[in-house]
A and B are shown apart, each in its own frame.
Chain A
Amino acid sequence: EVQVVESGGGLVQPGGSLRLSCAASGFTFSNYCMSWVRQAPGKGLEWVADIKQDGSERYFVDSVKGRFTISRDNAKNSLFLQMNSLRAEDTAVYYCARGRGYSRHWGQGTLVTVSS
């Protein structure tokens, strides 16, 4: 069974940093692009970042460029999102999703709250 499980969310002060992780199982992780999508409380979905299978291509939404980094460890079947210089508007549930473009498999999400 395909599973992706996010972790690492929590409360952080504005300007702070947080690293999200996504543990994948049930499929050959190194064969798939992976994505992060977020959803602010009561709001719609926003695609955040995407990484190619070997990490050679990475894409970001403009609002996080220069602040967020996406990476992966194929040996450990893990995806990461390093978030720096966090702002109140980054408060959201962050979902890990398998694939580039549309995604069939999503995690349950991890909540990031940026507040003083």
Chain B
Amino acid sequence: AIQLTQSPSSLSASVGDRVSITCRASQGISSALAWYQQKPGKPPKLLIYDASSLESGVPSRFSGSGSGTDFTLTISSLQPEDFATYYCQQFNSFPLTFGGGTKVEIK
């Protein structure tokens, strides 16, 4: 199974900060990567698919980049509603796998 390693596992940031989360795959997955945001008690919300395509309705401050084994989710200016946990997911091959998550907290 392809392993996804997210870093950091948690971070503290202030409103307005630029935040980057990385996801490294144990083998190449082309651009078959998605990013999700999850808030407590809620299902995940799709933010980015195909590594860099912004899901409809998601604010443009979210962006994704990378291909192969190294990927990044960037929030250009953190907003109060962005404090949540973020997950990457690969869909290059079964079993599909998720990263361990990055919790973004208020500084």
List the B residue with the shortest CB-CB distance to A44.
B101
Which one of B55, B91, B95, B98 lies within 8 Å of A45 (CB-CB)?
B98
Known: A102-B34, A107-B43. A50 touches B94 (CB 8 A): yes
* Chain B 24-56: CB-based contact to A (< 8 A → 1; otherwise 0): 000000001010101000111010010000010
Query: In the assembly, what is the distance between CA of A59 and CA of B1, in Å?
Result: 13
Interface of B is mostly: loop
Specify which chain A residues have a CB less than 8 angstroms from the CB of B87 in the assembled complex. Answer: 44-45
How many residues on chain A are close to B (CB under 8 Å)? Answer: 21
Residue B97, interface by CB 8 Å = yes
Specify which chain B residues have a CB less than 8 angstroms from the CB of A76 in the assembled complex. Answer: none
Specify which chain B residues have a CB less than 8 angstroms from the CB of A67 in the assembled complex. Answer: none
Residue B100, interface by CB 8 Å = yes
Best-surrounded residue of B1, B32, B43, B89 (most CB of chain A within 10 A)? B43
Residue A77, interface by CB 8 Å = no
* Smallest beta-carbon distance A99→chain B, Å: 9
Q: Are B44 and A62 in contact (CB-based, < 8 A)?
A: no
* Chain A 77-116: CB-based contact to B (< 8 A → 1; otherwise 0): 0000000000000000001000011111011110000000
Query: In the assembly, what is the distance between CA of A35 and CA of B98, in Å?
Result: 14
How many residues on chain B are close to A (CB under 8 Å)? Answer: 22
* Smallest beta-carbon distance A97→chain B, Å: 8
Q: Are A44 and B43 in contact (CB-based, < 8 A)?
A: no
12 other A-B residue contacts (CB within 8 Å) besides A108-B43, A109-B43 = A35-B96, A44-B98, A44-B99, A44-B101, A47-B96, A95-B43, A101-B32, A101-B34, A101-B91, A101-B96, A102-B46, A102-B91
Q: Which residues of A approach B to under 8 Å, CB–CB?
A: 35, 37, 44-47, 50, 59-62, 95, 100-104, 106-109
